[in-house]
Amino acid sequence: MIELLVQRLGQLSLTASAVLLPLLLLSSLIQRRYTSKTCYVLWLVLSVWLLLPVDWSLPESPVTIVVPEVSREWAAPPTPVTDPMETQWDMVTPEPSRFTMPSPAQILSGTWLSGALGMLLWHGTGYLLARRRLRSGSWEEPGDQALLAALWGGEHGQPEVLRTGDTEAPLSLGLFQPLVFLPASLGEGETEMILSHELSHIRRRDLWYKVLLLLVNAAHWFNPLVWWMCRQAGRNLEYCCDDAVVEGRDAAFRYDYGQVLLRYASHYAGVPLYATRLSSGGQQMKGRLMNLFIKKKTGVMLVAAAICAIAAVGTLVTFQSAQAEETPMTASEALDALAESVSISDKEITFTIPGAYEKSDDWRIQVSGRYRMGEDETMSVHLLDNDGIAGRWRGGEGFYSIPLADYNLDQFEDLTLWAFLFDEDGVEMEREVDLLALRGGILTDGTDLIIDTEAENCLWTWPVSDCQAITAYFGTRIHPITGEKSSHNGIDISAPEGTGVLAVRRGTVAKCGWDDTNGNYVLLDHGNGLTTLYGCLSAFSVRKGDTVEQGEILGTVGATGTGTGPHLHLEVSQDGALVDPLSCFPPLPEADGVSAEPSIQGTDFTYGGHTYDLTERSPAITSITAMEEVGGLILLECHTGPKNNIYIVFDLQTETFIKELAGTHLIWKGEDLTTAVYAFWGDICTYGGTVVAELDLGEKDYVSDLSFTEDGEQIKVEITKNGESGTQLVALP
């Protein structure tokens, strides 16, 4: 509410400035030519306009001023919580804490409110202190009371007239019980003139007018033109009262009255803002003296022109936010928007809840995976486990961030974000984002970034002539030095040291040098967001800024960086996202030099020069998330959906697939896969297919982890029910 009020006041202040500026620049001329009553009405109309933050614009305004929209808020999400496998842990799904930083609109609203309240408090306190100080040292003079009775004429609401030694200038203050303070040194001949002036203020309700000006000034304290207007309007009140005192009087009286004004011209400071005062500054006093002897015009036409200008500006100019109204999203569109917003770095996972989806309470979001704790130990990690608690998510309030400071991304075997919504028919829809694939440059729908390699003059040159043996593929692999699983950002091509390395396409050398990972390297920029990196070189023969043609030598093959032998490390990036370099070349012919090391990429498993597409075995597979050798067998963990995997077993000796197990949390003893146990929803199954336990799980309950007891005779089953974790023991057959 207050944000809307501040927005309207800001628009009103800016619009009113178009009328105020010319009037204020001409204020001296207007004061000299038109009566003070004209100026009184003019400033009153403007003040009332400035205190009414309503929309005066026409339905279709001829002039539109676009106000830029400032960036959104930021919100930090929950702290990750894990549930390990080998040790008893109490896994608690955290309540996502969302620390919302104030938006620019909230900051502006708070600043405006602080300024307005501060100004009112300052002047209110000053008024009370001044009234108390003046009243405490004041007294009544009998002669003043007799003169007051004669001048007031028995009207209702007669003010109190007091003498005081605490002020050198006459003044009036008080709204409901007005007080007139006269200086103790006031001469007998001056009292009638001065009292007539102060009583004129009270009759005209000038003290209320002063309060109106104070409110206008407080509401628009940020606008210097409003300050200027309030000062001019306050000065004009003195002109009005001067006119009332000398009305019908001769020149001699006017001269004597002018002498009184001159006497108190120097006593200007120390008077509350919403008190009237006879005294004025020197420049203003000159104008007041001239006002006593000059006949002026009534300014009906001037006031009418000002009102017309207000109406014209208010109706012809409107303000429009630069942010277009968002069309409400369907559930499918909202899921797509969230999936597209997901990003991952070594420090955090971020995503945005789209603001255009109206049912923000319907969201269910989960981030989980498996994390390697050692050579033979993994644990299930639930960074975020949300079953749609109302009010947990807020659309359009910036992004949510899940910290990863406590994790090494290379240690994750799989890491996935799932988002769920119900469509208009009540059917639950889901979107899945493979976060490790996203980190490696694969789009959230599971497809690689596409680079057109078929276009004319766009065929790529193989970077190492006559050497096509791939020793490491793009994606997850076992690092040859650390022995740990890691994400490989390119491909490694085995070649003799000193072999020439060729540019795959024409480009410009964006960078060349050394780093600990790539050793000697060259980075080429091919335009349109496409770059290629050539690493592990023994030497390079180009410099930064050089233009190289396709097939031109960049350097020679080496073993620098984190390599175990001479090879070329090749990376490809499109718009900053890593791409599998092999997707940019025609399929390689089979060769004797192909490595016998098994590797995985996307849904493909490669071994002995043969590549197997696992979607041919199960169309539900979206990616291979982990690979592990166990006793001469390769265990492939394949992702098929939320809380569901398929484990495929490959025999290295016969080069055949021998087993498929649908479920999650597969564990085994030592190097014997036949001892494996896994969970399939609420069933605990063995490698041979025997169901050893059927758990009573609700619709939203699930098995979060499995582990063997120390004696190996039982299984500890971690179960999450209604966000709380528990353990159940299951005996092995």
* pLDDT tens figures, 562-610: 766 788 999 999 888 888 888 787 766 544 444 557 888 878 888 877 7
Given this model, what pLDDT does residue 280 score?
54
Given this model, what pLDDT does residue 503 score?
94
Helix (H) or strand (E) holding 555: strand 553-557
Given this model, what pLDDT does residue 543 score?
92
d(CA 267, CA 563): 89
Give the 3-state secondary structure percentages of the chain, helix then strand then coil, rounded to 5. 30, 35, 40
pLDDT in tens, 628-676: 888 889 999 888 876 678 999 998 888 888 888 988 889 998 888 999 9
180: number of Cβ within 10 Å: 24
Given this model, what pLDDT does residue 297 score?
66
Share of the chain above pLDDT 70, in %: 75
pLDDT in tens, 4-48: 777 778 777 887 788 788 878 887 777 777 777 877 888 788 888
Given this model, what pLDDT does residue 93 score?
38
Last residue of one domain, picked from the residues 294, 316, 338: 316
Check whether residue 177 and residue 259 sit in a common domain: yes
* Residue 250 exposed, middle or buried by CB count within 10 Å (0-12, 13-18, 19+): exposed
Q: What is the dihedral of CA 8, 9, 11, 14, to 10 degrees?
A: 170
Given this model, what pLDDT does residue 524 score?
95
pLDDT in tens, 314-338: 555 544 444 444 467 788 888 888 8
Check whether residue 623 and residue 703 sit in a common domain: yes
d(CA 296, CA 503): 89
Check whether residue 168 and residue 188 sit in a common domain: yes
- pLDDT band of 311, cuts 50, 70, 90: low
Return the residue matching tokens 């197997």. 612
pLDDT at 456 exceeding the cut of 70: no
In a domain, 80, yes or no: no
Given this model, what pLDDT does residue 532 score?
95
d(CA 202, CA 614): 94
Check whether residue 459 and residue 372 sit in a common domain: no
385 — phi, psi (to 5°)? -135, 100
Check whether residue 524 and residue 567 sit in a common domain: yes
Around 614, how many Cα atoms within 13 Å sit in the side-chain half-sphere?
A: 31
pLDDT in tens, 54-111: 554 444 444 444 444 433 333 333 433 333 333 333 333 344 444 445 667 778 888 8
Given this model, what pLDDT does residue 512 score?
93
Check whether residue 519 and residue 553 sit in a common domain: yes
Share of the chain above pLDDT 90, in %: 10
pLDDT at 384 exceeding the cut of 60: yes
In a domain, 524, yes or no: yes
Q: How confident is the prediction for the chain on average, in pLDDT?
A: 76
**Where residue 380 sits, what CATH number does that domain have?**
2.60.40
d(CA 568, CA 401): 37
Average pLDDT over residues 217-229: 88
In a domain, 637, yes or no: yes
> CA nearest 714: which of 703, 728, 704?
728
3-state secondary structure 66-134: EECCCCCCCEECCCCEEECCCCCCCCCCCCCCCEECCCHHHHHHHHHHHHHHHHHHHHHHHHHHHHHHH
What SS3 class is residue 416? strand
Check whether residue 115 and residue 211 sit in a common domain: yes
**Domain range for residue 137?**
2-68+105-316
Tokens at 664, concatenated: 């999650």
In a domain, 79, yes or no: no
Check whether residue 482 and residue 568 sit in a common domain: yes
Check whether residue 400 and residue 538 sit in a common domain: no
Check whether residue 116 and residue 255 sit in a common domain: yes
Return the residue matching tokens 């917003």. 341
In a domain, 359, yes or no: yes
Tokens at 512, concatenated: 């060349």
Around 312, how many Cα atoms within 13 Å sit in the side-chain half-sphere?
A: 8
Angle at 545 between CA 543 and CA 549, to 5 degrees: 85
Contacts of residue 48, Cβ cutoff 8 Å, sequence gap at least 6:
212
pLDDT in tens, 122-160: 888 888 888 888 888 888 888 888 888 888 877 787 888
Average pLDDT over residues 358-370: 76
**Where residue 672 sits, what CATH number does that domain have?**
2.130.10.120
**Where residue 468 sits, what CATH number does that domain have?**
2.70.70.10
pLDDT at 706 exceeding the cut of 80: yes
Q: Work out whether strand 81-83 and strand 378-385 pair parallel, antiparallel, or are unpaired.
A: antiparallel
Given this model, what pLDDT does residue 542 score?
92
As a whole number of angstroms, the longest Cα–Cα distance in the chain is: 127
Tokens at 667, concatenated: 């564990």
Angle at 568 between CA 562 and CA 571, to 5 degrees: 85
Per the structure, how many domains does the chain have?
A: 4
Last residue of one domain, picked from the residues 595, 615, 648: 595
Check whether residue 478 and residue 591 sit in a common domain: yes
Given this model, what pLDDT does residue 144 score?
81
In a domain, 444, yes or no: no
d(CA 325, CA 319): 14
Check whether residue 145 and residue 181 sit in a common domain: yes
Last residue of one domain, picked from the residues 316, 338, 371: 316
Given this model, what pLDDT does residue 361 score?
62
Tokens at 679, concatenated: 């969970």
pLDDT at 266 exceeding the cut of 80: no
In a domain, 84, yes or no: no
- pLDDT band of 448, cuts 50, 70, 90: very low
Return the residue matching tokens 């016969």. 654
- The CA distances from residue 516 to 479, 501, 529, 569, 721, in Å, are 15, 20, 25, 13, 47
161 — phi, psi (to 5°)? -110, 125
d(CA 127, CA 137): 16
In a domain, 628, yes or no: yes
Average pLDDT over residues 482-494: 69
pLDDT at 556 exceeding the cut of 90: yes
Tokens at 88, concatenated: 């008893």
Tokens at 492, concatenated: 């490694």
The top-scoring range by mean pLDDT among 167-171, 386-390, 430-434, 588-592 is 430-434
